[in-house]
Structure 1
């Protein structure tokens, strides 16, 4: 029996579908809304209150029928904020390059605009440049493949994005553009009721889908605790997006708050130790933080990895390659659940990666760990 079991959330406990929807809507807004770039796309026009058919159409276009999502997940990109950044940068750069092919002044104009950094205002100004030079420009959603073809890691994607942006913004911090995407994503996912803004966005926080029966999963957690197993969470969700649905389904009370690490914790750690960025998965920081119940970032970053003797004591349960890579670097065992984006089609990938366990869903942990239900 493992002494500690650490869970991912999306693709394990909760469906990722609404997260992917919000990611697509964010990229679409950054490109098409007058608040940002304000260019046309082949997709439906921007609205802060799209119906389900419009959401499906936008996601189909932005992520190329989810091929882009699968490609990102397959090279270890797990955070939706990163997904937004990579796709938006590709389409932004494509628009600027088309404009530059029409006018030799575009690079100089863009550099002048971006000398003050990446902001909503600077994106609006870039949109004005593109529209003035190429008024007929329409985003075809083919920029991602053009910029990132052959990239095999998150770090390589980051480097290609940085290099492409540097032509137009040599003095601007690209992380500020990442933050614009992050903040816009939060508007979509949380909605006005939680952000306190007046964007007209309802949010997805109250329409989460559990992957397995909530009562059955709660019973599994109760039985693990009764067997003396320490439970933890490491998720790419921010704090509120973790707390609200897990509380609603009756799961959060099974976890010691010190052993729950979310994206808000990771961002705070990166602010304390910017030299260590990125600390999001596949970096094992979030799992290590939950394993140790330790909040001192400096202490955690000093831990030598992989930790000897951990494989027989700690089990990480996740749905993505990023989770498996984090488990390997930490030195823990890994149970892959086939309830993520690719479903059963992900099995061969986890077999090649050497996952110790491959489960149809998280409830199969009961069989793997030979748990006896508590009366």
Structure 2
């Protein structure tokens, strides 16, 4: 019998469009803002209109090829997407500076904002940006999320002729990308609540108030009510931080249906990584997000991390997600998994889910109720 249902948010309950917009703008800012690499700085603005955002997203993600590639390899975190996309461009740009400048940069122990700003004057004014090559180079690695994050070191060696540990996910550069994304997504009104300080690049409106639900609000509320009325506990397992999860769910009228002790967000993942860096990274497709939701957040993180998988009672858990990362996490746990085709690639994701033997593939989240009924009927 299904006793717990854990929903992803992006691509399941809410459209990912604004998250991807914020990701693209973050990479663009790190490349073009005078506060960073200052490439074509005359075009930088903190108040882009929708047409400009569409253009930048198309450029940064080579249409949708870069996004689709990362999602197909199990990368579910927008923070990781920003980090990997920008790190690749930074390595590529270092090919165009003098050997002494490049060597000095690569000899650093970390990459902070001052390091990026100091590099800017050494970049040629007409330095090329080739976003298409991201997929070409990363396709050489057969790995999924964690492997891609490590493969950036291989790309650095191939392009620059030497090894470097500068591009570790635990470094300052990852944190810069994360904070830049938060600034774009939350805007000045919410950023301090999220990262504990004011925006480094102030003046952004944010996308938090522009969320797009993937079904009518009333239908989502009815779905959650029907699930809860069956005695099933509802939780969340998301790559969004806490504020970006609570605010939209509250606006949709869904928050009251969710057990707060089973709502695990990227904020919780970051804290777990801080406590146990030897397990890093813990974002999906690592099962930690869903595991802690299943065990309840009051459970000690160490116990969750050391749980033997697949879980003995995993058949009481249903995970609902839109990405390969969700699918892989559910399968490692041994839980039931419902894939929904409302993510980035829509119906095109069906083939990928089928290749990874997803238990059921649904057109949208509203079809979940029928699947729960089927599972419980079989169990009885």
TM-score (norm. length: structure 1): 0.91
Which of 68, 71, 74 in structure 2 is aligned with 1:70?
68
Instruction: Please show how residues 199-218 of structure 1 align to structure 2 within 5 Å.
Output: 199-218=202-221
Structure 2 residue 135 is matched with structure 1 residue 145: yes
Corresponding residue for residue 156 of structure 1: 147
Contact 1:94–1:143, Cα closer than 8 Å, also in 2: no
Quote the residue 2:118 is aligned against: 125
Contact 2:152/2:167 (8 A) holds in 1 = no
Distance 1:224 1:26, change over 3 A: same
Partner of 1:5: 5
- Structure 1 212/350 Cα, relative in aligned 2: closer, same or farther at 3 Å? same
Cα deviation digits, residues 18-77 of structure 1 (max 9, x gap): 000000000000011010111239xx9221100000000000010011111111001100
Instruction: Specify whether residues 124 and 11 from structure 1 end up closer, same or farther in structure 2 by C-alpha distance, changes over 3 A only.
Output: same
* Aligned residues of 1:40 and 1:137 also touching (Cα < 8 A): no
- Aligned in 2, Cα 1:104/1:93: closer, same or farther, shift over 3 Å? same
Residues 91/146 of structure 1: CA separation in 2 closer, same or farther (3 Å cut): farther
Q: Take 2:166 and 2:238, find their aligned partners in 1: how far apart are those partners?
A: 33
State whether residues 110 and 168 of structure 1, in contact with CA within 8 Å, keep that contact through their aligned partners in structure 2. Answer: no
5 Å matches for 1:66-215? 66-99=64-97, 103-111=98-106, 114-115=108-109, 117-129=110-122, 131=123, 134-152=124-142, 153-164=144-155, 167=162, 170=165, 174-175=169-170, 176-196=172-192, 197=198, 199-215=202-218
CA drift of 1:323 comes to 0.1
Contact 2:65 2:135 in 1 (8 A): no
Q: CA deviation at 1:143?
A: 4.3
Shift of 1:308: 2.5
List runs of 5+ in structure 2 lacking aligned partners: 193-197, 375-380
Alignment partner of 1:299 out of 303, 327, 330: 303
Q: Deviations over 1:257-286 (max 9, x none)?
A: 110000000000000000010110000101
Further displaced range: 6-15 or 145-154: 145-154
State how far apart, in whole Å, the 1-side matches of 2:169 and 2:328 are: 26
Q: Please say if residues 91 and 143 of structure 1, whose CA atoms lie closer than 8 Å, have aligned partners that are also in contact.
A: no
State the match for 1:45 in structure 2: 43
Displacement over 3 Å in runs of 4+: 162-174
Q: Flag the 1:173–1:69 CA change in 2: closer, same or farther, 3 A.
A: closer
Aligned length: 360
Query: Aligned runs of 1:248-263 on 2, under 5 Å?
Result: 248-263=251-266
Structure 1, gaps ≥5 residues long: none
> Which moved further from structure 2: 4-13 or 160-169?
160-169
Q: Secondary structure at the match of 1:177?
A: helix
CA separation in 1, counterparts of 2:167 and 2:83?
15
Take 1:127 and 1:2, find their aligned partners in 2: how far apart are those partners?
55
Can you list the C-alpha shifts for 1:78-129, whole angstroms capped at 9, x where unaligned?
0000110111011100000132xxx3323333146x34x2211111112222
Paired residue for 1:355? 358
TM-score by length of 2: 0.90
Is residue 87–residue 167 contact of structure 2 (8 Å, CA) maintained in 1?
A: no
